[in-house]
Amino acid sequence: MSIKSESLDLHKKLQGKLETDVKYHVKSREDLALVYTPGVAAPCLEIKDDTKKAYDYTIKANTILVVSDGSAVLGLGNIGPQAAMPVMEGKSVLFKEFGGVNAFPIVLDTQDTEEIIQTVKNISPGFGGINLEDISAPRCFEIEERLKAMLDIPVFHDDQHGTAIIVLAGLINALKVTGKNKEAKIVVNGAGSAGIAISRLLLKYGMKNVTLVDREGIICSESSNLNWMQKKMLEVTNLSDQKGSLKDALKGADIFIGVSAPNIVDSDMVKSMNDKAIIFAMANPTPEIMPDVAKAAGAMVVGTGRSDFPNQVNNVLVFPGIFKGALKAHAKQITDEMKLKAAEAIASLVGPDRLSADFILPEAFDPAVTECVAAAVEKCAE
């Protein structure tokens, strides 16, 4: 059976991937009195007097909201809230399985920015954090920024920051393998939520030369139809104001990071890059260039979003630990400093004895990853 058929059978058999469970079973009148009336009034009154005690007495302490409007799902696009639900359930499963974090999937039947912000704000009191998921750009930027300003719990758009963190983690080790440094010329293809977040975090880390490219070519002073965030990125990327296509951008580049479309990079484009080129081709399921083709053309380190090739650049290494650490610290925000520390923590798990061109990131099922990221985030929050 194909993956598609197996997945359909699994979802139909289970009718979704989640269910609720209880920590305390009600088997007597005494139990009922403790978990519900009259006993439940005691913690209610404690929280009424001090809302911070919700972390002591309720599920808030280890629970987040996974919320989407279904406007930018995986490689599927704008498929709407109901069709997005299997993805939100899957994300919630990964939070629990990899990080021990409870996650509720919520899909919203609106793609209006104001309605999304107000809805998330209104349902936020029961959660210790908000994970925004699969919301299209540029609305995702405004939604996240405004919710961060409104709420006293972490708000994190994983499509942006989880992807950016894992890319930086891989790049830290790829630079070691190739001997390149922060002066390396980086081309990021895809100027949506992920591409912009990657570029911003790489610049925060200290990379000096980042150029963004979209389907119309290099983002430069002459680019038309840019959204407000892409215009803002022009202030810190492509400082030489280079013009042209992706092919032009890759000439003399050291690093290609793709969060875009399949098969848009060919051998000649890789050959035009500098020696020991680094390529993260993360379009899924078909990358911008297949790893064997990139290697044959001279690339030294190649990563993809796929699990059947070396160097899977997978944000499952990021988001469970990020939220686990933030929740333990009762953090109010996930800061840039936390993101940098998370990336460095992930990179540190590949020691010098294991580091190679085909092994720059730990495996997704390495149990040390979540704990390492959580500890780094918690320490940073404190």
Residues recognised as catalytic: 36, 91
In whole angstroms, give the CA distance from residue 71 to residue 59: 29
CA distance 45 to 48: 5
Residue-by-residue DSSP string for 54-120: HHHHSGGGGEEEEEE-SSSBTTTBS--HHHHHHHHHHHHHHHHHHH--EEEEEE-S---HHHHHHHH
Continuous segment of H or E residues that includes residue 189: strand 185-189
Considering just the CA atoms, what is the radius of gyration of the chain in Å?
Answer: 22
Q: Which amino acid, one-letter code, is at 249?
A: A
Distance CA 379, CA 382 (A): 5
Give the SS3 label for residue 156: strand
**Cα–Cα distance measured from residue 275 to residue 272, given in angstroms and rounded to the nearest whole number:** 9
On the 0-12 / 13-18 / 19+ scale of CB atoms within 10 A, 338 is buried
